[in-house]
Every structure is written in structure tokens, then in C-alpha cells.
Amino acid sequence: MKVVETFDRAQNVREIKLVYSTLAESFGGSVQTELKESKGSSSKPVASTEPKAKKVISEGVQLKNRFRKLANII
């Protein structure tokens, strides 16, 4: 609350800058800090999600005939 009141009492830009630098020093921060943003892993391009090996699942003739027999098709 005191921080907000201090900014409210400032009359011009020079006083606001002075209040800011005083507060920044008292909180242990530096007045001019650079914000460095880096791309996270979610921003990196990803290779295709297509499967590398296209393998067709094929049931054998024996299995096919077994299901036909169970269904009374044969």
C-alpha cells in the first residue's frame, strides 16, 4: 500500500522515475533489467507425425478361415 501511495504523491515524470529507482534499489533489484525471452520447447518445429514405417497389419489365412468356421460361413 505504501508503494502505491508513494507513486500517487509524485507530481511529474521525474519524480516517478526517482521513486521507481529508489524502490527498485530498496527491494534489491536493478533499475534497468533486460527481459530475455527464449523460445520454449512448445515453439520449436516438430517433424512430421506420420509413422516412419508403413506396416500393414495382415491376419493370416488360417485366422481368417477360423473366423469363417466359427461364423458357420464355411
Range of the domain at 21: 1-31
Q: What's the pTM?
A: 0.36
* Domains of the chain: total: 1
pLDDT at 29: 58
Q: What is the pLDDT of residues 15-74, one digit of tens each?
A: 888 888 888 888 775 555 565 666 665 666 667 777 677 766 677 888 888 888 889 876
Confirm whether 52 is domain-assigned.
Answer: no
Q: Helix, strand, or coil here: 35?
A: coil
| CA separation, residue 74 to residues 28, 34, 54, 58, 60 (Å) | 86, 78, 33, 21, 17
pLDDT at 53: 72
Confirm whether 72 is domain-assigned.
Answer: no
Question: Which residue matches cell numbers 508503494?
Answer: 3
pLDDT at 9: 87
In 3D space, the residue among 40, 41, 2 whose CA is nearest the CA of residue 22 turns out to be 2
C-alpha cell at 4: 502505491
